[in-house]
Structure 1
Amino acid sequence: MENFHHTGGCPIRDVLSKLGDKWTMLVLVTLKANGTMRFCDIQKTIGDISQRMLTVTLRSLETDGLVVREVYAEIPPRVEYSLTETGLSLMPHVESLVGWALEHMDDILRRRHVQIG
């Protein structure tokens, strides 16, 4: 295994810091499950994400090439989001992590409760 220095561009730190925030995984999973979606539909599906945070998250995912934003010249304008090929290639790994979390959630929560209690 390589040394992962805190200086310079460490790909593992960079990717994990992006994916490890509160909303990124939820947005990715939502788009994977539903396909192309409008902003308001993503927000309704996730539920407790603010408009500002969803905007920031989608822009970040778009910058990284995981999500594509399609603007349609209609009145009113329509904007849709979907996963790119790169985003789709990430999803088996995200789904594996989600599956692991679901499988071990009860044990983790029980251990947390013991530590707190």
Structure 2
Amino acid sequence: MKEDKKQSIYCPIEYGLQVFGGKWKARVICVLNDKGTLRYNQLREEMPEITDGMLASTLKELMQENIVERKQYGEIPPRVEYSLTPKGESTLPILDIIRKWSMEQFKIEAKGNLEAAQKRLEEAVKADRTSCLANMVIDTDLKNAN
């Protein structure tokens, strides 16, 4: 993050989210934590949905924040590896708390979807729909909940 951005942030939470928030930063941190030191292509293989440009940009931002370090070896062919810094490792407990909170929210939402599916089944039975059709309704809702 550039220095002027840091100066414009007054809330500590906002600063933290700026450092490791966003779609890909937390995922890169988690992959490097789970897999250890990785080369660019290995990191890319762990996240097939990310584009090369987005991965390069994300790594650059994480390196600017000293979350990820890049080590280049003087070999032929060239070899570059990425790993978490101690500051990057310090984000792991925070990300774990966010993961736990998210799992609880997913459970609540899934339960809500299940309750909605059960309600639709009851309505289908009341409307004298066939059991097969009613089961299709609940099966569709359950698949959408997953």
Q: Same fold (TM over 0.5)?
A: yes
Unmatched 5+ stretches in structure 1: 1-6
Instruction: Report how many residues are paired.
Output: 108
The aligned residue for residue 8 of structure 1 is 8
1:66 pairs with 2:62: no
- Pick closer, same or farther for the CA change 1:52–1:108 going to 2, 3 Å: same
Equivalent position of 1:88 in the other structure: 89
AA aligned to 2:15 is D
Confirm or deny: 8 A CA contact 2:44 2:50 kept in the other structure. yes
Identity over aligned residues, as a percent? Answer: 34
Task: Identify which of structures 1 and 2 has the higher relative contact order when contacts are C-alpha pairs closer than 8 Å and 6+ apart.
Answer: 1
TM-score (normalizing by structure 1): 0.81
Q: Which amino acid aligns with 2:102?
A: A
Q: 1:107 offset after TM fit, Å?
A: 2.2
- Who wins on radius of gyration, i.e. which is larger? 2
Is structure 2 residue 38 aligned with structure 1 residue 25?
Answer: no
Counterpart residue number, 1:76 = 77
Displacement of 1:69: 0.2
2:96 alignment partner, SS class:
helix
From the two aligned structures, give the one with the greater helix fraction. Answer: 2
1:110 CA displacement: 6.1
Written as runs of structure 1 = structure 2, the 5 A alignment for 1:50-61 is 50-61=51-62
